[in-house]
């Protein structure tokens, strides 16, 4: 499977590097908002993976690599391994650059944008979101192809966002069974708000349970996603 990752690396490496450079330039803008940095950070993985898929589709190389001594399951699993490696590389880029940048840039706009990133909750949140994006997108890609898969995925994200907001409103305002999550404080800097929310979960559950729960949810998501992707790809004809 690492051979498949090497193939993707050779095909996409310069554009992956461009994404890394873009991110690096981006965090040196006085944004003030940590959410933008976090969103851009999470999108580095998704963007890098998309570039690989776009190259593959543009060059119509799928049939070539499907003709090599590989099963469909191995090809799909290779993509998941690649996504995992990209997520780790993204983590190194994001958190590796946030710490020195924070030390160098003392202006409040930088401190408020990059500050929330320098926490264990942000790192866990990043890996969870990266995993969630990949796990949600790849089955749709293997089922519908790149263009329709992307559309379905983005529609799903919008529906999910609206659903979460609706449930939060119903539970906090109508049923009054939980306190409001999206308070004015949260909405002032949603990135910091999300990190604080994760911190409150960690404190309530305790660190080992919090980590175990996160890993379990993520593993279940990825395994389900992998199973679906393999099923769809095994039906694909070239």
Partner 1 sequence: MENAIEIKGLNKDYGDFRLQDVSFTVPRGYIMGLIGPNGAGKTTVIKLILNLLRRDGGEVRVFGRDILAHEVEVKSRIGFVHDTPFFFEHLTLRKLKDTVAPFYGTWDDRIFHRLMEEFDLPLRKRFSKLSRGMKMKFALALALSHQAELLILDEPTSGLDPVFRRELLARLSAFIQDEGKSVLFSTHITSDLERIADFITFIDQGGIVFSAPKDEILEKWAVIKGGSELLAEENRKLFRGVRRREFSVQGLTDDGARARQHLGKDVLIEKASLEDIMFYLTRGNGHV
Minimum CB distance to partner 1, residue 50 (Å): 16
- Beta carbon nearer to partner 1, 73 or 169: 73
Q: Are 148 and 156 in contact (CB under 8 A)?
A: no
Alpha helices (H) in the chain, listed in sequence order = 2-27, 34-59, 62-66, 72-104, 108-114, 120-144, 146-169, 184-188, 190-205, 207-234
Residues in the chain: 238
- Beta carbon nearer to partner 1, 64 or 159: 64
Tokens of 24: 């690096």
Minimum CB distance to partner 1, residue 153 (Å): 25
Residues that bind partner 1 (CB under 8 A): 3, 6-7, 10-11, 55, 59-61, 63-64, 66-71, 74, 235, 237-238
CA distance 212 to 214: 5
Minimum CB distance to partner 1, residue 75 (Å): 11
- Beta carbon nearer to partner 1, 70 or 205: 70
Residue 190: which of 36, 55, 56, 75 has the closest Cα?
36
Minimum CB distance to partner 1, residue 134 (Å): 22
3-state secondary structure of 172: helix
Minimum CB distance to partner 1, residue 210 (Å): 40
- Beta carbon nearer to partner 1, 204 or 238: 238
The DSSP secondary-structure symbol of 116 reads G
Phi, psi (degrees; rounded to nearest 5) at 113: -80, -40
Angle at 200 between CA 195 and CA 203, to 5 degrees: 125
- Beta carbon nearer to partner 1, 174 or 237: 237
CA distance 221 to 227: 10
- Beta carbon nearer to partner 1, 6 or 29: 6
Minimum CB distance to partner 1, residue 99 (Å): 35
């Amino acid at each position: 499977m690492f051979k498949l990752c090497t193939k993707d690396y050779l095909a996409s490496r310069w554009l992956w590097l461009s994404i890394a450079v873009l991110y690096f330039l981006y965090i040196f803008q006085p944004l003030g908002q940590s959410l933008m940095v976090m969103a851009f950070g999470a999108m580095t993985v998704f963007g890098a993976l998309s570039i690989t898929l776009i190259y593959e589709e543009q060059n119509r190389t799928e049939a070539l690599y499907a003709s090599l001594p590989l099963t469909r399951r191995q090809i799909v699993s290779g993509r998941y391994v690649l996504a995992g490696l990209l997520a780790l590389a993204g983590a190194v880029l994001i958190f590796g650059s946030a710490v020195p940048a924070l030390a160098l840039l003392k202006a409040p706009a930088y401190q408020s944008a990059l500050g929330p990133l320098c926490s264990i909750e942000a790192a866990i949140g990043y890996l969870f979101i990266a995993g969630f994006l990949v796990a949600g997108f790849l089955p749709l890609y293997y089922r519908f192809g790149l263009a329709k898969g992307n559309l379905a995925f983005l529609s799903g994200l919008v529906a999910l966002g609206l659903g979460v907001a609706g449930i939060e409103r119903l539970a906090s305002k109508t049923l009054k069974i939980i306190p409001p999550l999206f308070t004015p404080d949260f909405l002032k800097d949603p990135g910091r708000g999300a990190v604080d929310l994760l911190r409150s979960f960690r404190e309530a559950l305790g660190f080992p349970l919090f980590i175990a729960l996160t890993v379990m949810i993520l593993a279940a998501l990825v395994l389900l996603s992998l199973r679906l992707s393999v099923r769809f790809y095994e039906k694909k004809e070239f």
